[in-house]
Amino acid sequence: MSLTPTPPLVKLVGAGPGAADLLTLRAVRAIEWASLLLVDDLVNPDIVALASPQARVIHVGKRGGCQQTPQAFIERLMVRGAQGGERVVRLKGGDPFIFGRGGEEVQTLRSHGMEVEVINGITAGLAGVSSLGVPLTHRQHAQGVVLLTGHAQAGALATNWGAVAQAASQLHLTLVIYMGVRELPAIEQGLRQGLADDTPVAVIQNATLPQQRHAVTVLSDLAAMVLREGLSSPAIVVVGDVLKGLAQAQAVACENTGLFEENLEHAWTLNASTSLAAR
Amino acid sequence: MSLTPTPPLVKLVGAGPGAADLLTLRAVRAIEWASLLLVDDLVNPDIVALASPQARVIHVGKRGGCQQTPQAFIERLMVRGAQGGERVVRLKGGDPFIFGRGGEEVQTLRSHGMEVEVINGITAGLAGVSSLGVPLTHRQHAQGVVLLTGHAQAGALATNWGAVAQAASQLHLTLVIYMGVRELPAIEQGLRQGLADDTPVAVIQNATLPQQRHAVTVLSDLAAMVLREGLSSPAIVVVGDVLKGLAQAQAVACENTGLFEENLEHAWTLNASTSLAAR
């Protein structure tokens, strides 16, 4: 009788949008299980601190302005660790399967005969919008949601923002754009080919973290507003009529405090804790 | 000196896709905090069991074929509970702000002067796809994801599935359709106006629960396959080239066990536990 050895198991774990308590219970257990933890840079240190004191933690994301650790190197680390008997967890910001290259990692691991468990995380785009108290869908305003990346990766197709805008307008879709801040002038220009200049937009930086900031304006002011308000990565851009209620509510709030503007042309920045504080 | 009373706080909590350990830590604490819990029918009883033994639990979702509790009645329950000093938690399947009418509930609660905290959940569509080991985005196959509902609610706009298909094809988007099983013939017909007949599709029933089932086929066989395999609500429909790897991997698996088919025309159903078991 021959026993087939159990293939090594690697876990790809979503760390969620930022706040440590937005981790799932399953993710917590996976992090505690790990003996080798490969961590993206945007993952909250409070989440990494859940790892066993005996676990090795390797940070593999971008750091400041430096080059990203090559994807092939990360995948080699996972394969070698698992082959060497380590309990490997790859900890990624948000959800591993949304703009996280998790699909490529799964392919590599399986091609080496490994089993892979994927543990979803709350994706930053959806959490960022929710943190403003704004729904992604609404019977009157949005029939659905599109998640897109503004930062075309090497080897990827370029996004036709004009066509995105036409689809969003025709189909009443909310747009949620990840990693778009650096490309905003081009994104704004493209989107204005299919969406009205006064379409509400919001930019949310550091969603769900104590330092979260956001600003709301209209599409034709998007790139200028981000410069004016000093918003930067990591940030989510949201476009669509679901923001209308927010814009109105904030206009009323500004009016009450003597800061009312006639229209949305002047953007405003609010610390999210003023509207929807975590308790 | 006058003290302004603190407005009542109501929490809208996402229960996630099904499995109890896919709940976030913040959601667990909110459920434990509740004295009055209003629960949708699809929420896992293991999650409701986290509530305090002193809490009142009211099920407000659809039951079997019965009418859904009117939305206005649910909102009245929340308002009256909170005005009466209850710590009200509205527990919804998936994420409260994705096809959950959470936006309407927030509007009503705020119009009564209440504070609302929204706690995101892992949305069933994304979890369902991930449970197959398939990424939602991929540099070669999908630049983004669209979340749509197949079940047009009263008062909502009808979805133009032909235009959805054209956008998905032109922009390389994965489609994730919630609540679409009953409308599949119309959805298939519309999608075929813009997507090739051999576009891979999958249907996932009871995502992340022990009784999860799924089947994979091509777009032109979608409605017929669901009938043949006896798949029913609650289910997620996924359409797009990200499923190609899965189709190939499953064809190989079938070949190895003598079940290989020349092409995808015959769909197959696999219990998800064979591919990506939770451990």
Q: What domains are defined for chain A?
A: 9-122 (3.40.1010.10), 125-247 (3.30.950.10)
At residue B230, the pLDDT reads 95
Contact (CB<8Å) B103/A242: yes
CA-to-CA distance for A109 and A79, rounded, in angstroms? 6
* Cβ-defined contact of A149 to B143 (cutoff 8 Å): yes
Is the Cβ pair A137, B173 closer than 8 Å? Answer: no
Mean pLDDT of B4-20: 92
| pLDDT for the residue numbered A263 | 28
**Confidence bin at A101 (pLDDT 50/70/90):** confident
Which two tokens mark B208? 């992340």
Mean pLDDT check: name the lowest of A99-108, A121-130, A252-261, B236-245: A252-261
Q: What is residue B70's predicted lDDT score, i.e. its pLDDT?
A: 82
Residue B226: per-residue pLDDT: 96
Pairwise CB contact (< 8 Å): A28 & B24: no
| A108/A90 Cα distance (integer angstroms) | 13
User: Regarding predicted confidence, which is higher, B116 or B268?
Assistant: B116
Instruction: Say which of A78, A114, A179, A225 is annotated catalytic.
Output: A179
Give the pLDDT score at B223: 96
**Residue B12 scores a pLDDT above 80:** yes
CB contact at 8 A, B24 and B121: yes
Contact check, Cβ <8 Å, B25/A28: yes
* pLDDT value of residue B221: 96
Identify the three-state secondary structure at position B183. helix
Q: According to the model, what pLDDT value does residue B261 have? A: 33
Residue A108 CB-half CA count within 13 A: 18
Q: Which residue among B24, B97, B143 sits closest to A23, beta carbon to beta carbon?
A: B24
- A119: which strand partners? A13
Cβ-defined contact of A25 to B26 (cutoff 8 Å): no
Q: What confidence tens digit (pLDDT) does each residue in A148-193 have?
A: 998 766 556 678 999 999 999 999 999 999 999 989 999 999 999 9
| Mean pLDDT, chain B, whole residue set | 84
Least Cα distance to B153 among B203, B210, B112, B101 occurs for B101
B161 in Cβ contact with B180 (< 8 Å): no
CB pair distance less than 8 Å for B245 and A95: no
Q: Is the pLDDT of residue B110 over 90?
A: yes
Q: Is beta strand A115-119 parallel, antiparallel or unpaired with respect to A88-92?
A: unpaired
What is the per-residue pLDDT for A71?
83
Average pLDDT of the segment spanning A84-109: 93
Answer for the pair B203, B214: CB distance below 8 angstroms, yes or no: yes
Q: Which residues of A touch B277 (CB under 8 A)?
A: 117
User: Which residues on chain B are in Cβ contact (under 8 Å) with A118?
Assistant: 130-131, 133, 276
Amino acid at residue number B116? V
Which of the residues A99, A141, A174, A237 would you substitute to probe the B interface, choosing the one with the greatest number of B C-beta atoms within 10 Å? A99
Do the Cβ atoms of A97 and B137 come within 8 Å?
yes
Closest-CA residue of B relative to A155 is B139
What is the reported pLDDT for B154?
A: 56
Pairwise CB contact (< 8 Å): B276 & A116: yes
Handedness of CA A216, B153, B232, B211 (dihedral sign): positive
- Cα(A220)–Cα(A224) distance, integer angstroms: 8
- Can you give the pLDDT at residue B34? 98
- For residue B197, the distance in angstroms to the closest alpha carbon of chain A comes to 22
Residue B242's closest chain A neighbor by CA? A103
Pick the residue of A9, A92, A138, A143 with the most B CBs within 10 A to test the interface with B by mutation: A143
Q: For B23, which residue in chain A has the nearest alpha carbon?
A: A24
Cβ atoms B18, B124 nearer than 8 A: yes
**What is the model's pLDDT at position B68?**
59
Which of A13, A87, A145 is best to mutate for the B interface (most B CBs within 10 A)?
Answer: A145
User: Where is A173: in which H helix or E strand?
Assistant: strand A173-178
Out of A106, A121, A164, the one facing B133 most closely (by C-beta) is A106
Residue of B nearest to A143 (CA): B148
A179 a catalytic residue: yes
Q: Is the pLDDT of residue A273 over 80?
A: no
Complex prediction ipTM: 0.86
Chain B CB contacts of A146 below 8 Å: 144-147, 173
User: Nearest CB to B98: which of A102, A137, A166?
Assistant: A137
Q: State the pLDDT at residue A68.
A: 59
Contact: B139, A28; criterion CB under 8 Å:
no
Given a cut of 50, is residue B153 above it in pLDDT? yes
Q: State the DSSP H helix or E strand holding residue A39, giving kind and residue range, or none if neither.
A: strand A36-39
Q: Do A21 and B22 touch (CB under 8 A)?
A: no
With a pLDDT cut of 70, the percent of chain B lying above it is: 81
Mean of all residue pLDDT scores within chain A: 84
pLDDT beyond 80 at A201: yes
| Closest by Cβ to A145, choosing from B98, B143, B245 | B98
pLDDT-based confidence at A260, cuts 50/70/90? very low
| Tens digits of residue pLDDT in B48-73 | 999 999 999 999 876 544 455 688 88
Residues of B annotated as part of the active site: 40, 62, 179
Q: What is the pLDDT of residue A271?
A: 34
What mean pLDDT is predicted for residues B11-17? 97
CA distance B50 to B31: 7
Chain A CB contacts of B124 below 8 Å: none
User: Starting from the edge strand earliest in sequence, which strands make up the sheet with B213-218, in order?
Assistant: A268-271, A213-218, A200-205, A235-239, A173-178, A144-149, B144-149, B173-178, B235-239, B200-205, B213-218, B268-271
| Pair of tokens at residue B256 | 């190895």
* Percent over 90 (pLDDT), chain A: 68
> What residues of A are in contact with residue B71 (Cβ under 8 Å)?
none
List the single range of A2-6, A237-241, B261-265 with lowest mean pLDDT.
B261-265
Q: Tell me the C-alpha to C-alpha distance, in Å, between residue A258 and each of A37, A216, A261.
A: 51, 18, 9
Say whether pLDDT at B237 is over 50.
yes
| pLDDT at residue number B157 | 65
- The residues, ordered by sequence, that sit 6+ positions from B66 with a Cβ below 8 Å of its Cβ are none
Q: Is the pLDDT of residue B101 over 90?
A: no
Under 8 Å between Cβ of B121 and B27:
yes
| Most B CBs within 10 Å, among A4, A11, A25, A131, to test the B interface | A25
Give the lowest-confidence range in A127-141, B90-104, B142-156, B241-255. B241-255
User: How high is the pLDDT of residue A69?
Assistant: 67
Residue B268 has pLDDT above 70, yes or no: no
